[in-house]
Structure 1
Amino acid sequence: VQQEFTTCSGDVRDIHLLVEGIHCAACVWLIERGLNRAAGVQLAEVNLAGKRLHLRWDNRQSKLSDLIRALSRIGYSAVPYDPETAEGSIQKTNRAMLFRLFFAGFAAMNMMWIAIALYSGANQDEFRSFFHWVALVLATPTLFYSGYPFYRGALGGLRAGHLTMDLPIALGLSVTYAYSVYVTLTNNQHGEVFFDTVTNLTFVILIGRYLEGMFRHQAVSATKRLMELQPRVALVMREGIEQMTPIRGVMLGDQVLIKPGYTVPVDGVVLEGHSAVDESMLSGESLPVSKRVGATVSAGTVNTSGALLVEVRTQLNDTTLSKIIQLVEEAQSSKAPIQRLADTIVPWFVLVTMICAATTFFIWNSQDFEIALMAATSVLIITCPCALGMATPMSIAVASGLGAKHGILVKNGLVLETLSKVTHFVFDKTGTLTEGKMSVAQMKCAAGQDDEAILGVAAAVERYSEHGVAHAITAYAEERQQSFRDTVVNDFHATAGLGVAANVAGRRILLGSAAWLKQCGITLDAQLHLHAQTFEADGMSCVYMAQSEQHVALIVLADRLRSDAQQMVDEMRTAGIKMTLLSGDRRPVAEAIAKQLGGMEVIAEVLPQDKDRVIQQLQNEGAIVAMVGDGVNDAPALIRADVGIALGSGTDVSVESADIVLMHNELNKVLQATQLSRRTLRTIKQNIGLSFVYNAIMVPLAMMAQVTPLAAAITMPISSLVVIGNAARIRTLFKK
């Protein structure tokens, strides 16, 4: 277990466990509270929808076996979470509940005939005692077999020193059963038996719990759909022979054959073959992408035409698909700040329920014992914090799943709540508002310079850089059939946000901004600088080149606006959201882009290390800031912002630094993410309101003896189902 399912960081261990027996918010509270008190436990978070426990602990202070035993002492069993077996475990639990449910249903149907007989007059003659004993025979196994989950949960909580929501149910059933047994054994002619109430309550509550679990599972089915994208087996080539191998048995360096129509099982590099791969799951690109030797492929994508031989480069747990699933699961199990209200109320809910039931019994007992008994039982059954406890996690779970389906990966619930309150969006320019695909529009050289020679030297230097500008220059040189790759380049050095420097054939070469050349003591050519101002006013970027301390050329680069940038900016402007364009490019270029978008505040010529200072300044002015970017130099600003949003085309550093990742590389997803966050927060507030209204109406009615125990058992799960149904409505957000 330690090796296969646990991740280690020194002595700190981290594992996800599948916990059986979780059915309500009180269970979540009990498990988290119980484990957080254990020695060495640093984190214990329960995902109610998925019945999963995220556990992090110091292995020097506690072993995993000790923590699992501590969990079992409070009434819950746990096994390591494995996506392949989790579904089977959930189905097994559901089958066990169905057996209990069917048994209770059978008893309830037969009990109905007995109740009809007793209410029809049989309770007045010699058959009264006979029917009471038959009812006892039916109710006893129903209570202790079908009602076993209630007693297990109640006793587990009491052993841990906590009151669970199973306790009022178990108490209500036990008291009603005990009084009915007393009447039956003593043959009391004045008392009534309520065995039908016991069986009907058990049956109805089990139905409610089964429906809750089923609807919860369906509401957060996005994770299941993602898991289904991962093939269970792969065709591994060993000594020229195809071997069908379980996906967990595929190792790094193995060669996997992917036939046409098959789903790619691993992340790797194509060694042989040519095909087109459907990557819509990851990139949102509707057309298949051509794959040749040297191209990368990702697990979960679909090979459409030719066969591919792929070398495995990433372990199963580190594939892009696995990371997406992990992000969604972490978001679904996270807690938003608004949930603090529910977490504060739930621990006291059971105690208040017991007090209300006792008060009801004593008030009504002075008039009629049986009315007092039924009213108190109704109070015990009808009061439930489940709806309140599920108000937030269900909404976040559904929203996270919907976001993942549309390429919006939300890392935790806090982000959704914060994004709904954002008042100021800051956009990076290159690769965010623009396509980020720089291309050389033209090149101008100073008088007396050889254009082809200058371009060859520029490309030779830029091939050592990873910047998008460098790729544009080298691609332009290749289009012009320049042979620059054999040119010897020495002492290459890049200065982030300014430019690069190197030595070529004894000559010092500089490429970068005008400020970079000035900083290096180069005097700008007046004519070239005049041209640069004209191009920058049209939204083009210019790279200045110096050779042997002389400004010799100007390379003009063009980058088009994204097709969806205008619509997104217009809709945000209509919504009254402030926007700022933040760029390291020259101010005329940035202002030209802002002008094309209808105008917005521009902060230009900002060095990478200063971007987070701009964000901090906006925050100091009272703004709640979201930063949208895609480059390495955006990472500090993404971390500093209240919400960091990274486009999926961005670098790994940027994605890791972001709170939301837009996998489909579409800018309109920023607006969709904002809409999703606002809808989620509104739904959470609605659910909390519904749960309060339910308890405010039904508890007083039960205390007034206006609600029977059976009616209480019916309305209790309905309140939870209403919350689940309302949360599920979030899935309709993007439907047209």
Structure 2
Amino acid sequence: MSTTELELDITGMTCASCANRIERKLTKLDGVTAEVNYATEKAHVSFPEATTTDDLIRTVEAAGYGARLPEPANDDRERHLRTLRVRLIWSIALSVPVVLLAMIPPLQFPGWQWVSLVLAVPVVVWGGSGFHRAAWTNLRHGAATMDTLVSVGTIAALGWSLYALFFGTAGMIGMTHGWSLLATHSDGSGSIYLEAAAGVTTFILAGRYIEARSKLRAGDALRALLDLGAKDVAVRAPDGSEERIPAERLRVGDEFVVRPGERIATDGVVIEGASAVDQSMVTGEPVPAEVGEGDAVVGGTIGVSGRLVVRATRVGSDTQLAQMAHLVEQAQASKAGAQRLADRVAGIFVPIVFVLAAATLATWLLLGQPAASAFTAAVAVLIIACPCALGLATPLALMIGTTRGAEQGILIKDAEALERAREIDTIVLDKTGTVTSGRMSVGEILPAEGEDAAEVLRIAAAVESASEHPIARAIVEAAGAGIPAVSDFRSLEGLGAQGIVDGRAVVIGRAQLLDQWAASLDDDLRARFDAAQGTGATVVAVAWDGRARGAIAVSDTIKPTSAEAVRELRALGLEPVLVTGDAEDPARTVAAEVGIERVIAGVLPADKVDVVRGLQQEGRSVAMVGDGVNDAAALAQADLGMAMGTGADVAIEASDLTLVRGDLRVAADAVRLSRRTLGIIRGNLFWAFAYNVAAIPLAALGLLAPMLAGAAMAFSSVFVVLNSLRLKRFH
């Protein structure tokens, strides 16, 4: 049965238990799975054909919340933030006098309690209206959330105060004898809690405002990333004339002009001109890269110097920029295992708190304590216990960490990748394109006796022209123009390739491949073949019509940053292992230069999976870094797959992390960022749990006044926000 996936924007959530409740409602539908993220306010839903989008939206609405398909505008969240700010400012202005009058006896004048009542009622009723509205909505659906706790607690405090003022002993004294000072009696009938009702509302409003502002700002970098594309573009017509059109009208194959200072409208290949291009928005690399004819460019980057003519190769949602944004959003919608536990706790937390509050009230009364003291302790329990911090612990840190990673050229696929990154102790590095530049060049042509070197290169290039392998590209570039056509091309994984050129059956690749074709190298060619390999070059043999005709030595340059990257990986406690399909000698030459001790050479693509699996069977937790099609299976097998963004799409799809910049040091940065983000998440969860474990008993024992409980509860959410924001400073 086929399924469809989509995201819904969710409105009306106020805590983790709201998200948990919506998730439960959605998953009760046949064949539907859902993950609801409180921080991003989105639901990622997978559903069968029998279920419609309207069914999903109605289910969310039936639970008392709002749902809609995603919209690019962010006006609703901005408007909600402005509303919260206005309520908070007025609540602070009205609450401060109430708190000061209650806490500082010298300020208390005759009738001060009635002034406090006039000031406190608007705060509780209007300032806290969002809590009361949500609590009523949930009550109608037979549910309870954090808003229920706050609403019941503040209304109870206000209600008790009204009773004390109008019907209690002290209240009667005040009404009978005019503006007399309210006295608190031992039976508690004269106690008022206006400062608690107003203070708690204001503190929680402040926490809610900071939380909403942080959630909104945490996504700013991602939204900025999506806005980086050019708005219009100069398209070149076949006659050389130019026309400016909206960028969204570009099509694959269109040629467009990029002048200095302009953004490149979409992904493409330079067909004319040269320029330095600022690619920092996708790679995190501050130094502009020089590009010329034949080089690929990424939409959203900026041409710094010369004029370019670019042929569009990808448009719309297929561009690298769009795919980066999609990966970041996908990661932000995911949940770590620890967060799933927190969500389950939050789902049952509120009912437990009501039971604890009722038990607190009953216990105090049974022990013969004053009703006011029993009431105070029960209200404090209601207010102190809030699952908000639990709900924010993972998603907010994940939002900031993944967005910061995108700014640095690191794309994290999901939260589980972060958890795996913490455990890895071994990192497998593919050689070509990862440790080395992958930009190979022909160094030497070794013709067999009686053969022409140019002809060997020409025939080899004809076969390799159908391949995307770096060695193949180097041979084709060396041959230049005049390469004949190839037919019946076939790639032989890890061994080479074959095809028909000018009516001749040609094979090119390893010496073993020629042995299989009964076209082995003669002694002289074998000696020169081995000597070239000994210099660190990769050597491929060429044969046709049943005879070895020569060999071509291709060399690759080690990236200047690879040695430093290996040192950084070792400093993180990882053992690097170099894996390559190349022969032993060139592989060890490269490994020695960058500081890698363990080398596994002559590995076929299928064997890379076996190498990773073998390391895992040794008890190691393995990360794999690669960039080619032949790395995809090993990337998927590894505990943590890291694909170079300069590589093949299938490798990127199979990986857990994508390193946009072709610099191995980014792999070390990715591990550091993953570990830092997961550390922040675990710290958030620890303090969120520890806060409730410590605070609820204090409140139940009467050691925490309701107003202080409200302040502590708001601070728990603020702490999670501030702790998560530390990730913005990651470099």
- TM (norm. structure 2) is 0.89
Q: Aligned letter for 2:584? A: R
The range that moved more, 583-592 or 187-196, is 187-196
| Distance in 1 of aligned mates of 2:345 and 2:62 | 24
Change (3 A) 1:434 1:694: same
SS of 1:645's partner is: strand
2:144 paired with 1:155: no
Quote the offset at 1:227 in angstroms.
2.7
Alignment of 1:543-562 (within 5 A): 543-562=540-559
Which residue of 514, 523, 528 maps to 2:525? 528
SS of 2:423's partner is: coil
| Distance in 2 of aligned mates of 1:68 and 1:15 | 12
Q: Which residue of 1 aligns with 2:229?
A: 230
| Distance in 2 of aligned mates of 1:113 and 1:587 | 79
Quote the offset at 1:645 in angstroms.
0.8
Is the 8 Å Cα contact of residues 422 and 624 (structure 1) preserved in structure 2? yes
Q: Which residue of 1 aligns with 2:19?
A: 28
Q: Which residue of 2 aligns with 1:678?
A: 675
Is the 8 Å Cα contact of residues 586 and 605 (structure 1) preserved in structure 2? yes
Is the 8 Å Cα contact of residues 40 and 59 (structure 1) preserved in structure 2? no
1:676-724 Cα deviation digits (max 9, x unpaired): 2222333233222222332233222222222221111111111122222
Change (3 A) 1:456 1:218: same
Change (3 A) 1:99 1:286: closer
Quote the offset at 1:236 in angstroms.
7.3
| Distance in 2 of aligned mates of 1:585 and 1:732 | 41
Is the 8 Å Cα contact of residues 15 and 145 (structure 2) preserved in structure 1? no
Change (3 A) 1:579 1:488: closer
Which residue of 434, 437, 449 maps to 1:435? 437
Q: Which residue of 2 aligns with 1:99?
A: 86
Quote the offset at 1:623 in angstroms.
1.9
| Distance in 1 of aligned mates of 2:675 and 2:97 | 50
2:10 paired with 1:19: yes
Is the 8 Å Cα contact of residues 36 and 42 (structure 1) preserved in structure 2? yes
Change (3 A) 1:298 1:593: closer
Q: Aligned letter for 2:406? A: A
2:48 paired with 1:58: yes
- TM (norm. structure 1) is 0.88
Q: Aligned letter for 2:55? A: D
Quote the offset at 1:663 in angstroms.
0.1
Quote the offset at 1:531 in angstroms.
2.1
Q: Which residue of 1 aligns with 2:33?
A: 42
Which residue of 581, 586, 590 maps to 2:583? 586
Is the 8 Å Cα contact of residues 395 and 728 (structure 1) preserved in structure 2? yes
Quote the offset at 1:138 in angstroms.
4.2
SS of 1:717's partner is: helix
Which residue of 686, 691, 694 maps to 2:688? 691
2:52 paired with 1:72: no
Change (3 A) 1:145 1:237: farther
Quote the offset at 1:514 in angstroms.
0.4
Q: Which residue of 2 aligns with 1:325?
A: 325
How many residues align? The count is 709
Quote the offset at 1:639 in angstroms.
1.0
| Distance in 1 of aligned mates of 2:445 and 2:243 | 54
Change (3 A) 1:109 1:677: closer
Change (3 A) 1:558 1:259: closer
Quote the offset at 1:66 in angstroms.
3.0
Q: Which residue of 1 aligns with 2:149?
A: 168
| Distance in 2 of aligned mates of 1:570 and 1:312 | 39
| Distance in 2 of aligned mates of 1:670 and 1:191 | 66
Q: Which residue of 2 aligns with 1:5?
A: none
Q: Which residue of 2 aligns with 1:347?
A: 347
Quote the offset at 1:288 in angstroms.
4.3
Q: Give me the CA root mean square deviation.
A: 3.0
| Distance in 1 of aligned mates of 2:312 and 2:441 | 34
The range that moved more, 343-352 or 169-178, is 343-352
Q: Which residue of 2 aligns with 1:262?
A: 262
| Distance in 2 of aligned mates of 1:55 and 1:694 | 32
2:199 paired with 1:212: no
Which residue of 396, 399, 420 maps to 1:397? 399
For structure 2, the residue ranges without an aligned partner over 5 or more in a row are 174-188
| Distance in 2 of aligned mates of 1:470 and 1:241 | 37
Q: Aligned letter for 1:81? A: P
Q: % of aligned pairs identical?
A: 35
Q: Aligned letter for 1:52? A: K
The range that moved more, 568-577 or 449-458, is 568-577
The range that moved more, 273-282 or 612-621, is 273-282
Is the 8 Å Cα contact of residues 30 and 157 (structure 1) preserved in structure 2? no
Quote the offset at 1:270 in angstroms.
6.3
Quote the offset at 1:219 in angstroms.
4.4
Which residue of 448, 454, 457 maps to 2:456? 454
2:478 paired with 1:484: no
Alignment of 1:66-465 (within 5 A): 66-83=55-72, 85-86=73-74, 88-109=75-96, 111=98, 127=111, 132=114, 135-186=116-167, 187-189=171-173, 190-231=189-230, 245=246, 260-268=260-268, 276-284=276-284, 286-289=286-289, 297-305=297-305, 314-365=314-365, 366-465=368-467
Is the 8 Å Cα contact of residues 74 and 159 (structure 1) preserved in structure 2? no
Change (3 A) 1:249 1:633: closer
Q: Which residue of 2 aligns with 1:4?
A: none
Is the 8 Å Cα contact of residues 236 and 254 (structure 1) preserved in structure 2? yes
| Distance in 1 of aligned mates of 2:233 and 2:501 | 50
Q: Which residue of 2 aligns with 1:654?
A: 651
Q: Which residue of 2 aligns with 1:601?
A: 598
| Distance in 1 of aligned mates of 2:710 and 2:274 | 62
The range that moved more, 186-195 or 430-439, is 186-195
SS of 1:420's partner is: helix
| Distance in 2 of aligned mates of 1:579 and 1:306 | 41
SS of 2:703's partner is: coil
Change (3 A) 1:307 1:517: closer
Q: Aligned letter for 1:225? A: A
2:680 paired with 1:716: no
Which residue of 619, 628, 633 maps to 2:625? 628
Q: Aligned letter for 1:101? A: L
| Distance in 2 of aligned mates of 1:714 and 1:457 | 79
| Distance in 2 of aligned mates of 1:559 and 1:272 | 27
Q: Which residue of 1 aligns with 2:492?
A: 495
Q: Aligned letter for 2:634? A: A
Quote the offset at 1:393 in angstroms.
2.3
For structure 1, the residue ranges without an aligned partner over 5 or more in a row are 1-9
| Distance in 1 of aligned mates of 2:127 and 2:330 | 34
Quote the offset at 1:178 in angstroms.
1.9
| Distance in 1 of aligned mates of 2:98 and 2:64 | 31
Change (3 A) 1:173 1:553: same
Quote the offset at 1:669 in angstroms.
1.1
SS of 1:688's partner is: helix
| Distance in 2 of aligned mates of 1:117 and 1:638 | 66
Change (3 A) 1:546 1:113: closer
Q: Which residue of 1 aligns with 2:472?
A: 470
| Distance in 1 of aligned mates of 2:702 and 2:451 | 99
1:299-321 Cα deviation digits (max 9, x unpaired): 32123346667666544333211
1:271-295 Cα deviation digits (max 9, x unpaired): 8876553223234555545667876
The range that moved more, 582-591 or 549-558, is 582-591
Change (3 A) 1:113 1:525: closer
Quote the offset at 1:345 in angstroms.
1.9
| Distance in 2 of aligned mates of 1:687 and 1:681 | 10
Q: Aligned letter for 1:281? A: M
| Distance in 2 of aligned mates of 1:333 and 1:656 | 17
Quote the offset at 1:241 in angstroms.
8.6
Is the 8 Å Cα contact of residues 426 and 625 (structure 1) preserved in structure 2? yes
The range that moved more, 300-309 or 724-733, is 300-309
